[in-house]
Amino acid sequence: MAQDLDLLRGTLDLFILKTLSWGPMHGLAIVRWIEGASKSLLQIEEGALYPALHRMEQRGWLSAEWGVTDNNRRAKYYRLTPRGRKQFATQVSIWERYTRMAAALLAAREATV
């Protein structure tokens, strides 16, 4: 659904950072991991992943290098840089504050004004 996508775009960076916090991965592996971790609830438009990756690389959050997969294919591997790791921590704390705030707000039962 459209709303789902909007929400996703804002958080795609966060998911990528989370994914790469496990270790270097190529783009396809990142998609697979997000699918797996979200129990296939989140299906992203895969093409949108790559501009995000390149942008984050240019910001210095990720570094990229070409490597070889298990079955001998050339693939571009992304890894978190120290700056990327810091960024991940910041974004996680923002996200947690946001969800706590949203949860508290939605759980409120009476007007206290």
Partner 1 sequence: MKRLFRLPFSRARVRGDVDAELSFHLQGRIEELVAAGMSREEAEREALRRFGDRSVVAQQLERMDVRAYKRRALGERLATFWRDTRYAARGLGRRPLYALAVILTLALGIGANTAVFSAFKTVLLQPLPLPGIDRLAVVMGDFPLINQRFGVSALEAIDLFERKDLFPTAAASSGGAATLLVAGEPTRVFGASTLGEFANVFAVQPVLGRFYGPEASQFGRPAVVVLSHQLWQQLGGDSSIVGQMLTLSDKPHEVVGVLPPNFSYPSQAMLWRPNVLDSLVLNQERSRGTVVYRFVGRMRDGLTNERLRSELRALTQRWHETYTSNYKSGGHMLVTVPLVEYLAGQLKPILIALFAAVGLVLLITCANVASLQLVHASGHTRELAVRAALGAGRAAIARQVVLESALLALAGGVSGVLVARLGLTWLKALDVTRFPALKDLQLDGSVLAFTAATVLFAGLLFGSAPALRASRVSVSDALRDSSRGTSAGAARHRFLRASVVVQNALTLVLLVGAVLLIQSLNRLLRVDPGFQPQNVVTFSIAVTARYPYGAARVAFFRSLDERLRAIPGVQSVGFAAGTPFSGSAGSTSYKLAGVPTQPGETGRHANQTFVFGDYFRALGIQIVRGRGFTDADYASGSPVVVVDETLVRQSFGDKDPIGTQIEHGPEGTIIGVAHSVKLADLSEPAHPLVYHNFANGGYLAGMTAVVRSSLPASAVIAAARAAVKELDPSLPVSGARSLSERVAESYGTRSFATGVLSAFAALSLVIALLGVYALMSYVVSTRTKEIGIRLALGAARTTIARMVLIDGAKLAAIGLIIGVAAFLGLGRLLRVLLFGIGPYDPLAIGAAVTLIGTITLVASYLPARRAVRVDPLTTMRAE
**Residues binding partner 1: number (CB under 8 A):** 18
The pairing of strands 25-26 and 62-68 is unpaired
User: Which x/- pattern over 5-44 shows residues binding partner 1 (rule: CB under 8 A)?
Assistant: ---------------------xxx--x-----------x-
Residue spans of beta strands (DSSP E) within the chain: 25-26, 62-68, 74-80
Q: Within its chain, how far is the Cα of 78 from the centroid? A: 13
**CA–CA distance, 76 with 74 (Å, rounded to integer):** 7
Instruction: List the one residue from 36, 45, 107, 112 that touches partner 1 (CB under 8 A).
Output: 45
Q: Residue numbers of the site for partner 1 (CB under 8 A)?
A: 26-28, 31, 43, 45-48, 50-51, 54-55, 58, 73-76
